[in-house]
A = this chain, B = another copy of it.
Amino acid sequence: MSVLRKALPDFKWESVDVRAYKDEATAPFRTVTRQVLASAPDLAGELRYFEVAPGGWTTLERHAHVHAVTILRGSGRALVGHEVLELGLMDLVTVPAWAWHQFRAPPDEALGFLCMVDAERDRPQLPTAEQRADLEAIPEIARFFGLASLSQEP
C-alpha cells in the first residue's frame, strides 16, 4: 500500500473501498456507508469513516469496546447511553463500554465521522424488545428515534 492516499471529492479516498455499513440481514440501519482508513497487523487500533445519508441512522447497539468519534462532515445527533447529543463539525464523542448508541443525520444533510476502535473487539449486541421499550419510555429518547414527533404531527 502506498504511504499516501489522496482525498477525493465527497469524502472518498484513493484505494479505499466504500463498503456497506453492515450486512443488512444482521442489524437494522438506514443508508450508512463505511470506509476503512487505517487497519493493519501492526496497528492496535482501526480508523474508519462512516457516513450517514440525510435522514439515515446507524444501528442502535452496544458492546464492550469503546468508540472515539470525530465529526468530519455535516451535523446530526447521537444517543450515547441515555444522553442525546447535538453534533457539529469536529466535535468529539466517546462511546463508553456497554453504552447504547446510535448516530442520526438530519433530513437535509449527511453526517460523516471518523471512528477509532480497537482492532480486536467484541461483537455488538442489539437491544431486546424490552430494552428498546425502556429507552423509548424516555421522552427525549423517543423524540430522538423520531417516534414522539411523528405522533404529534397530523
Contacts and interface: CB of A to CB of B under 8 A. Distances in A.
Interface string A9-25: 00101001000000000
A4 to B, nearest CB: 5
A135 interface: no
A150 interface: no
A43 interface: yes
Interface in A56-73: 65-66, 68, 70-72
Contacts of A88: 6-7
Interface stretch (A26-34, A90-98, A102-110, A138-146): A90-98
A38 interface: yes
A70 B37 contact: yes
A129 interface: no
Nearest to A71: B7
Contact of A38 (B1, B5, B94, B119): B94
A11 B85 contact: no
A43 B116 contact: yes
A99 B1 CA distance: 14
Question: Which 4 pairs from chain A and chain B are nearest by CB?
Answer: A45-B45, A38-B68, A7-B90, A44-B44
23 contacts: A1-B94, A3-B81, A3-B83, A3-B85, A3-B95, A4-B83, A4-B93, A5-B92, A5-B94, A7-B71, A7-B89, A7-B92, A37-B68, A37-B92, A38-B116, A40-B66, A42-B66, A42-B97, A43-B45, A44-B118, A44-B119, A44-B120, A47-B116
